[in-house]
Amino acid sequence: MEQSATLNIENLKITQEQFILASQSLHLQRPGCEAVYPVGLYGWRKRCLYFFLLLLLVTMIVNLALTVWIIKVMNFSTDGMGELQLNQDGLHLEGVGEFQMPLYVSEIQSRRDRLLVLRSEKNVTLNARNHQGQLTGQLTVGPEGVEAQCQRLEVRSSDGGRLLFSADEEEVTMTTEKFTVTGSEGAVFGHSVETPLIQAPTSEDLRLESPTRILTMEAPRGVEVSAAMGTLKIGSRKDLQLEATEGEILLDADSIRLENLPLGLYAASAGEPFRKQAVYEVCVCPSGKIYLSPAESVSTCQAMSSICLWS
């Protein structure tokens, strides 16, 4: 045993000597001790890190508080925000809503027991567009009036079945039983009017007037002008013409008065007037002019026909 231990020690010494010799032959040098540096943040760097962490924590707390306050004030919920609720049918708004930008919807309706009010400081404009985005209809309600721009404008009854008023580029049609004008100046038409009846209200006068042009009434089967409970008056500054191309003109009344007819003149002396009397006969010139002639036992129209020369 002692010999074995002695041999191991000797072998170890030989190995160490060989290592030392080999190291010296390779000129190997043992590394020296390097400088030791501390690891971590110290001094002002550590204080800045803590300050930024504290500032981030305060910012998070403030943001969380503001978020909770906004949710509380705006009354956010799973159904919507405040008076604005989201459901399967769309948006449900209780109260007054203000829109700063255009609103695109397919339908707007109010509750059954409430009115739908649209308000604007300038105007309210409703636009209708096709699938290509082109404008097909527009309704503008402004301070100066109401303007509608469309191909055809229709006004129907409350049940939506009966057409009351329609207007397009060709004509304007009214299908109501009565059209009433209550203005003090009446109604002014720049062109012709086609209607089956013109009637004044009860106890009111009916007046048809053309101040500077001609008033014409035409009908393919006849024109009837009647005043059942009052007086019918037709006046003209110049000529009043009653013409029937294929029929006759019938004046049916208890009495027919032709006032301010001119008096005829003697053929012998055009400047000599005849004496006044109570009864005259009515004479007609070939031109159709009517004049008066003194009534005698025989007709005096021939003797008083000089007035026809001036017609």
Taking only the tens place, the pLDDT of each residue in 94-151 is: 777 777 787 777 777 777 777 877 777 788 888 888 888 888 888 888 888 888 888 8
Position with higher pLDDT, 79 vs 61:
61
Q: Looking at the chain, which runs of residues are DSSP E strands?
A: 80-81, 84-87, 90-93, 124-129, 135-141, 146-149, 153-156, 163-167, 172-174, 280-284, 290-294
Contact 304, 283 (CB under 8 A): yes
* Strands across the sheet containing 146-149: 124-129, 135-141, 146-149
- What is residue 270's predicted lDDT score, i.e. its pLDDT? 46
Angle (CA) 205 194 156, round 5°: 95
Tokens of 252: 């049916």
Share of the chain above pLDDT 90, in %: 6
Q: How far apart (Å, rounded) are the C-alpha atoms in residues 207 and 135? A: 44
- What is residue 237's predicted lDDT score, i.e. its pLDDT? 76
No. of helices (H) and no. of strands (E), the chain: 2, 11
Ordered by start, the domain boundaries in the chain are: 42-75, 260-310
- What is residue 21's predicted lDDT score, i.e. its pLDDT? 60
Contact 173, 165 (CB under 8 A): yes
- Average pLDDT of 264-280? 61
Contact 141, 123 (CB under 8 A): yes
- What is residue 65's predicted lDDT score, i.e. its pLDDT? 95
With H, G, I as helix, E, B as strand and everything else as coil, classify residue 62. helix
Mean of pLDDT over the chain: 76
- What is residue 59's predicted lDDT score, i.e. its pLDDT? 96
pLDDT over 90 (residue 61)? yes
